[in-house]
Amino acid sequence: MNVAVIGKGGREHAIVKMLANSKSVNNIYAIPGNAGMREICEVMYRVNEDDFDAIAGICIEKQVDWVVIGDAGPLSLGLADFLIDEYGLTVFGPRKHEARMETSKSFTKNLLKKYNIPTADFKVFNSYEKAEQYIETAVPPYVIKKDGLTEGKGVVIVKESEEGLKALKDLAEFSDEGEMEPLIFEEYLEGEEFSLMVMVNEEYTHAFEVIAQDHKSAFGKEKGPNTGGMGAYAPVTHISEAVRQEAVKNIIEPTAAAMVKEGMSYFGILYLGAMLTDDGVKVLEYNARFGDPEAQVLLSMIDSDFACILEHVQRKEPVKINWKAGYTVGIMLATEGYPYEYKRGIGIAFTDEIMDRSFISGLAQTENGDYISSGGRIMLVTGTGGTIEEALSSAYSGVERIEFNKNEVFYRTDIAHRAL
């Protein structure tokens, strides 16, 4: 089969790597792809993710059998709808209506509330004044979230009332008519956070047997602003299989059933960001695609044919995923100033061996073939081992072998600290 992968980040790099190992896959086309994919597939770097006609043209010309949409952006714009309805293509990634599970946090929270699926208590505000009044009486800690897509950066944990007013000012956005875009105020949940990837086809679900933990804050010891993710590791052995099963039974399966009851026909990955609290597992968020950087870690641990897995999910057949033994850790390199700003053109140098175990998020190449930064997050360097300590040592030794200006690039030094 021929497969097109839509996206340009580390998540899509991981998907391309998995498909390249599938015996049933003949050709892979990355649209627009990135510098790390050029050796393993055909990269259509001149085509933007929002150019639906160009994407469809490539899929028809190259006789693409499957389209895998990795990024939330084109999902939110309705790329799946366009490719399915206009050209009859098979697309792994939800339609625009179903992608609201990620693109509208208020939609998802209300769905969870309606069907009594465990999540944090919440309030939704469309009025700046009412949100401000709420902050004046609310008792911290609590969480303020933007409603739409924010790449993991539109979340503030409020620990003092003054922080709440500042967060409101920073996060509030207004329409041309002057109405504030929805902001969600959530109960602050304490416990162990984890990520569970689930393949969904309407009422059919298959949750990954291995869970991962992401590291959202920019700096060590959970300090600094929220980011798209500064590292991840798997498996998370201090969170038991019983907890994963609880998440499947009490959250995943009821959510899939609720979507069907609401007339939704979801086909793709549903990412559960969950919190293990004293009251059980609760939903923090849902995403309509693989997590990043969790996908890079988890997909590299799969020892099964990924294309065959997708076909089983399409037919709603039982799926068996074989997982590699041991642990995998990923360390994200980011440009100074991320997530608020970033600098393009920072030089990065590394060997082919490092590239083989890395996933590119924001790297471009000059005419001379040198790598330079092109985004806030640059690359995820992974390491594996029989123990978490061995995997950590491998990952950080890989980072140390990369040449960069330490005043312009940073990374966290405490990835997987909860597992130690």
pLDDT of residue 20: 97
Quote the pLDDT of residue 196. 98
Domain 2-93: assigned CATH number = 3.40.50.20
Type of residue at 226? N
pLDDT at 332: 98
Q: Which residues contact 64 (CB under 8 A, 6 or more apart)?
A: 2, 3, 4, 29, 58, 89
| Contacts of 124 by beta carbon, 8 Å cutoff, 6+ apart | 106, 109, 110, 147, 182, 183, 184, 185
| DSSP at 251 | I
The two domains 2-93 and 327-411 share their CATH topology (first three levels equal): no
Q: Which CATH class is domain 327-411?
A: alpha beta
Do residues 213 and 416 lie in contact, with contact meaning Cβ atoms separated by under 8 Å?
Answer: yes
217 near 231, Cβ under 8 Å? no
Question: Which residues make beta-bridge pairs with 262?
Answer: none
CATH H superfamily, domain 121-187: ATP-grasp fold, A domain (3.30.1490.20)
- CATH code of 192-315, in short, is 3.30.470.20
- In 308-418, DSSP assigns E strands to 327-335, 347-348, 358-360, 363-365, 371-373, 377-385, 409-410
Task: Give the C-alpha distances (Å, rounded to integers) separating 405 from 58, 346, 401.
Answer: 39, 8, 13
What ranges do the domains of the chain cover? 2-93, 121-187, 192-315, 327-411
Grouped pLDDT means (10 residues each) for the chain, 420 residues: 97 98 97 95 96 98 98 97 98 98 97 98 96 94 92 84 91 90 96 96 98 94 88 97 98 98 98 97 96 97 97 97 98 95 94 97 93 96 98 98 96 94
Which one-letter DSSP state was computed for residue 408? T
pLDDT of residue 195: 96
As a whole number of angstroms, the distance between CA 361 and CA 8 comes to 7
